[in-house]
Amino acid sequence: MNRLNGKVAIVTGAGRGIGAAIARAFAAEGAALVLAELDGASAEATAREIAQAQPGARTLAVPTDVTQATSVQAAVAAAERAFGPVDVLVNNAGINVFADPLTMTDDDWRRCFAVDLDGVWNGCRAVLPGMVERRAGSIVNIASTHAFQIIPGCFPYPVAKHGVIGLTRALGIEYAPKNVRVNAIAPGYIETQLTHDWWNAQPDPEAARRATLELPPMKRIGRPEEVAMTAVFLASDEAPFINASCITIDGGRTALHHE
């Protein structure tokens, strides 16, 4: 549909799940795309899948560790060499770290924040100078409904995701005069491999799956493609006045009053 035609985009964590869905959607909409992924093999596989489905799509897989600022800067440089200045960044890479606060190790705390918050900042910091200079750009940060609803047993993940929302709003306001937009998406339950892994780790996987499907008012969970199309919208010229905002994709779950 060419909604991103002429734009150069980077998607972190693009090898699987929501990141891969965003990569596929961006390529389908005409973006030249860098898949920045710690697991280089999965990024290559997604790039091949895109090439098969969309002949002529411009993709480049770049092994990237979002916890390392130099690695993210190298991915941005690779994008610029291959396709030109970066118009869009999607900070999607993330990990789940769920622990008891009083028994959690320092390493778990640092690992959670290194990926889920520092990784987002590393991406923003790498693309912002060019976007500010050109007075154009869109950054989309993948947050979570954990950013505003606390579920017991999930510490410290929601702390990091609260930080992502704060970072999104602060940078969105800071660079609004330069026509650089920074927004977030907060997915709820989305059917990814991580979700299936969690179901399968429960004593009764089928019962866990049914219970999850009952939570949203729509009585289903989301699909990665539904998150991806919202990312396309925020990255496109269709959202020029949306800034420092967060769009929730959870089927109404967080709006539901619980007795």
**Quick one: CA torsion of 100, 158, 163, 111, rounded to 10 degrees?**
50
Cα separation of 230 and 5, whole Å?
A: 16
Q: Give the other-Cβ count within 10 Å of 70's Cβ.
A: 10
Active site residue 157: yes
Length of the chain: 259
Catalytic residue among 26, 121, 157, 199: 157
Pairing of strands 8-12, 137-142: unpaired
Q: What angle do CA 179, 184, 174 make, to 5 degrees?
A: 35
Residues with catalytic function:
157
